[in-house]
Amino acid sequence: MPSLLIATTNQNKLREYAAIFAGLPLELRTLRDLGITDDVDETGATFAENARLKAAFYAARSGLPALADDSGLEVHALGGEPGVRSARYAGPGASDADRNALLLQKLAHVPFHARLARFVCAIALGLPDGTLEDVEGSLPGVIDMAPRGTHGFGYDPLFYVLDENATLAELPPERKNAISHRAQAARAARVVLERWVAQGLL
């Protein structure tokens, strides 16, 4: 069975991808499985650029087809912040709670109805020969006034989804995985992978 390298060390992401790619004739491998510890400088100006940088690098480095993503939060009232800096928003070594606290601080005087935001996930798929394709998913929401919920990770406790009447962290994991930006992008990536399998590229 051909392998697909999922280029992340985030166990939460790995679980989500494993669920969405279930049934594909691919063995999912991780950076840890292959002993790859190299980091890629995320110098892209967009989520898609960063995902493509990582997919190309890890496909070449491993000799395997590679999937890489870049995702984050864009808040309209903050001019799109934190954007591609979502994971680094509060500086090196900061925790999810630190990043959430900084976001709330910056939005302290912004009313609920003006806290429109969206989660974005770009996924790039790369082959060792340099072939690249990317897809994207997004989820609209509102930044809540305080963290709520115990599920999820990152900004999930603050991200209120109007259609669900709940933050992402209040939703059961299976529901979040059905609607999230990453789920949407991963379903689109699955279509690409199915095509690559049919074409004998994997």
pLDDT band at 177 (very low <50, low <70, confident <90, very high): confident
- At residue 61, the pLDDT reads 95
pLDDT band at 153 (very low <50, low <70, confident <90, very high): confident
Neighbours of 37 (CB within 10 A): 8
Question: Has 41 been annotated as catalytic?
Answer: no
Catalytic residue among 39, 41, 70, 98: 70
Length of the chain: 202
DSSP assignment letter at 99: H
In the CATH hierarchy, which fold is given to the domain comprising 3-198?
A: Maf protein (3.90.950)
Q: What is the pTM of this model?
A: 0.89
pLDDT band at 192 (very low <50, low <70, confident <90, very high): very high
- All structural domains of the chain with their residue ranges: 3-198
DSSP assignment letter at 41: -
